[in-house]
Structure 1
Amino acid sequence: MTSARAQRGAAVEAAALVHLREAGLTLLARNVRFKGGELDLVMRDGDTTVFVEVRYRADARFGGGAASVDLRKRRKVVLAAQLYLQRHPALAKQPCRFDVVDASGMPVQLTWLRGAFRLEDCGFA
């Protein structure tokens, strides 16, 4: 049985995927899991591989979904992206970007933050 929270998360992620596709991005992978991290969406934007973290908060009083992507979470996403690129070496030769889709409130409002963080922001060079 799937929890209400998991169902809501899946619905928000699906809405984010539709939003990004409408903006011209192409889906490469969804919910890719590695030990220590997960990639919600892996997309292509032209020649750029985009690693997308989708975050939802029903109540934005303490910051929206994007505010929950702290340093620890960014590092997990970066490490998962590195593992993904190791499995797909042709993509490793292309530019990449880390985006966040902030989903907040009811009804859900989506805010796409392109280039939300960089490797340098996470302590990686």
Structure 2
Amino acid sequence: MFSIKRQVGNQAEDIALKYLIQQGLTLIEQNYLTKVGEIDIIMLDKAEQVLVFVEVRYRKNTRFGSATDTVTSSKQAKIIRSAQRYLQQHDEFDEYICRFDVVGLESDLKYPKINWIKDAFEG
């Protein structure tokens, strides 16, 4: 059975996914899991021919920092290693530029404040 934290995380990812689709991105894969880490959402930005690896973060309140602040350098390294693994397994994206975005959701998930940071960190 899912934990409450996992249910909230899934809800936050669904909101982020819908938001990114509204911004013109196309879903490739969700919850890509490797031994080194997970990538929440992998999308294609067709306008720029960019493969986008998206980390979704949620915080109900920002007393201890924003949702996007929680993507530490060690978390970034795990995402980068997972992205490298993904690219090794999917040569159809060999010609694409890759980008790492973070989508932070804050407040109540019914009416979240969404902060999309394109190119949030380097791979």
Q: For this structure pair, what is the TM-score category when the shorter chain's length is used for normalisation?
A: over 0.9
Alignment pair present for 1:40 and 2:40:
yes
> For the residues of structure 2 that align with 1:15 and 1:103, how far apart are their CA atoms?
9
> For the residues of structure 1 that align with 2:105 and 2:75, how far apart are their CA atoms?
16
> For the residues of structure 2 that align with 1:61 and 1:45, how far apart are their CA atoms?
33
Which of the pair is proportionally richer in helix? 1
Alignment pair present for 1:51 and 2:79:
no
Bigger shift: 96-105 or 85-94?
85-94
Give the corresponding residue for 1:117. Answer: 121
Uncovered stretches (5+) of structure 2, i.e. residues with no partner: none
Secondary structure of the residue aligned to 1:100 is strand
Q: Structure 1 runs of 4+ off > 2 angstroms?
A: none
Identity %: 40
Let me know the Cα RMSD of the aligned residues. 0.9
Q: State the TM-score, normalized to the length of structure 2.
A: 0.93
Bigger shift: 74-83 or 1-10?
1-10
1:115 alignment partner AA? D
1:39 alignment partner AA? I
Number of aligned residue pairs: give it.
Answer: 119
> For the residues of structure 2 that align with 1:16 and 1:104, how far apart are their CA atoms?
11
> For the residues of structure 1 that align with 2:99 and 2:23, how far apart are their CA atoms?
16
